[in-house]
Amino acid sequence: MQRNQHRRSSAIDQAVARWNAQTSQASPAPTPVRARVSRRPARLTRVTLRATALGLVVRLAQWLWLAAGLCFGLTWDALCLRSNPLSRARRVRMTFQRAGGTLVKLGQQLSLRADLLPYQVCDELRQLLDRAEPIPWEVARAKVSAQVGKLEDAFASFDPEPIGSASVACVYRAVRHDGRAVAVKVLRPRAREVFGADLTLLHLCLVPAEWLMLLRSGQAANLVQQLRTMFEEELDLRSEARYQELFRQAVRKTRVRYLSAPAIHFDLSGADVMVSDFAEGLACDRVLAAVEEGDTAVLEQLASQQIDPRTVAKRLLKGWNWQVFQFPIFHGDPHPANILVQPGGHLVLVDFGACSYFSDRGRALLRNVQLHMLAGDFRAMASAAMGLLEPYPPIDVDRFGEELELLYARYMHAAQSDHAEWWERATSKIWLDFIQLARKYMIPVSLDTLRLFRATFLLDTVVFRLDPDLKLAGVYRAYLRQEDRWLRRKYLRHGLIDRSGQPLISEQRLQSGVALFDKIGE
């Protein structure tokens, strides 16, 4: 135990030392050597996922082998009287795990579909580790050189050993000629072709399920199209770079001082390569491990750097509310490994490949759910949440509403209790029940709502594990006060209120006036 504490303390000291060295450089940086960039106008390009005939045959053979192994394992469990929902879900997860690469990513995305798959299967698929063999260095070097020109002209040094290796891309560390450390994300070769083959095969597998009335007509095509749209964005690193840039702009504009993201180097980035500042800091899962293990040595090290796990939890939750209600998009994968904690409790988000949108109507309904929760009105909460599922298929809406009210009543009772477990007070619990009830009534749920559910589930779990005694109502009220200050500054800047905060026009027109000003070019 002492050895583990020493290792964690050393890791924290090293991370903090690197962060301090990066932020305290006082000497002027040398003149950077710019990579050669073409001056010709860029041509219109679009990332598409297409499968070749050979790719389909090879991938089909892999799928059949994996399917045969899964069927044998399930049959063996049944013969040995060991078959149960948990064991079957574990078999499914292990099949995706062994497949690796694209099927790992596909399994992660299918874990969102709690409206289509049993909960045990979704829960197991969420445990998939997105790890893969590194890209061969010569292949990665060729892809980077195709984007930036000669590697020596763009970078002063480039570490050939990746610091991260996932099913979609590998991440390397490099240093530019101006001394700035950067992270270089390189898309895997033929990743789009493999994804295209998998999506085509998935559609072919789901069509018989429609014929057998296991899925509603058109549901297979709709699911595959949603996945295709999502994967096309994730496999175009230009989209990730743009989302990350917009996030940084919005943070500066709103003055959320405890939140940031690494700056993008657009002169070196493209569809297959993305270069950003190298973010120093401790991964949030290390802070989480120290809290749950009661590691006093590590907690003391964190305290010496003004990192309080309870403050981190509150800032994560307030930052999440800001994303959902003030930012056009939200980070769809707030996993602890994608959250870096710097001295002073400053939070840096990385990996914006899985961002998503939420409509104005959805935001309004979600805000009503939140406000009714603060008021303790579970019936109004259920009524507002029902709007997220409209339009309904032919169901008994009154009965569905009654069951939803019962779910929210149980959640409110747990949230108001001083002796309930943390997972009973987390909003992830009510989201799980909400999605399961929708699945029971065969109500389709939009992909954006499901991604919001997944992101909320991940973030809520992290927040309550960092601070099991956290009171959601207090954090929400603090966020609303902060939001009020942001809106007042915005209204004042547009001349819609005076210095005393009194509206110059009717309250009903304030928001529409701001939207108009923003639209015409702030």
- Tens of pLDDT, residue by residue over 253-308, are 888 889 999 999 999 999 999 999 999 899 888 898 899 888 899 899 999 999 99
**What pairing do the DSSP bridges indicate for beta strands 181-187 and 169-176?**
antiparallel
Whose CA is closest to 250, among 260, 240, 258? 260
- Tens of pLDDT, residue by residue over 112-147, are 555 567 767 777 777 776 566 789 999 999 999 999
Which residues lie below 8 Å from residue 432, measured CB to CB, with a gap of 6+?
114, 119, 457
C-alpha 74/C-alpha 42 separation (Å) is: 53
C-alpha 426/C-alpha 413 separation (Å) is: 12
Whose CA is closest to 36, among 145, 173, 185? 145
CB 266 within 8 A of CB 273: no
Give the 3-state secondary structure of 229-282: HHHHHHCCHHHHHHHHHHHHHHHHHHCCCCEECCCECHHHCCCCEEEEECCCCE
Residue 451 half-sphere exposure, CB side, CA atoms within 13 Å? 21
Supply φ then ψ for residue 305, to 5 degrees: -100, 15
C-alpha 11/C-alpha 17 separation (Å) is: 10
pLDDT of the residue at 348: 95
The pLDDT tens digits along the chain (522 residues) read 444 555 555 555 665 556 555 554 434 444 444 444 444 555 556 667 777 788 788 888 888 888 899 999 999 988 988 888 788 888 888 888 777 666 777 677 676 555 567 767 777 777 776 566 789 999 999 999 999 999 999 999 999 999 988 778 899 999 999 999 999 999 988 888 888 888 888 888 888 877 776 666 777 777 777 778 777 878 889 999 999 999 999 888 888 889 999 999 999 999 999 999 999 899 888 898 899 888 899 899 999 999 999 999 999 999 999 998 888 788 888 888 889 999 999 999 998 988 887 788 888 888 888 888 888 899 999 999 998 888 888 899 999 999 999 999 999 888 888 888 887 888 878 888 888 898 888 888 877 787 788 788 778 878 988 998 888 888 888 888 888 887 777 766 666 665 555 655 554 445 554 454 454 444
Q: How far is CA 125 from CA 67, 92, 232, in A?
A: 16, 8, 21
pLDDT of the residue at 516: 46
Whose CA is closest to 63, among 202, 219, 221, 193? 202
Residue 486 half-sphere exposure, CB side, CA atoms within 13 Å? 19
Q: At what angle do helices 85-99 and 53-79 cross, to 10 degrees?
A: 150
pLDDT of the residue at 39: 46
Q: At what angle do helices 284-293 and 2-23 cross, to 10 degrees?
A: 150
Which residues lie below 8 Å from residue 44, measured CB to CB, with a gap of 6+?
none
Tokens describing residue 262: 């690494």
Whose CA is closest to 163, among 153, 174, 147? 174
Supply φ then ψ for residue 62, to 5 degrees: -65, -45
3-state secondary structure of 503: strand
3-state secondary structure of 31: coil
- Tens of pLDDT, residue by residue over 48-83, are 777 778 878 888 888 888 889 999 999 998 898 888
C-alpha 124/C-alpha 120 separation (Å) is: 6
Tokens describing residue 117: 């798959």
**If you compute the radius of gyration of the chain from its CA atoms, what whole number of angstroms results?**
25
Which residues lie below 8 Å from residue 234, measured CB to CB, with a gap of 6+?
168, 240, 353, 354
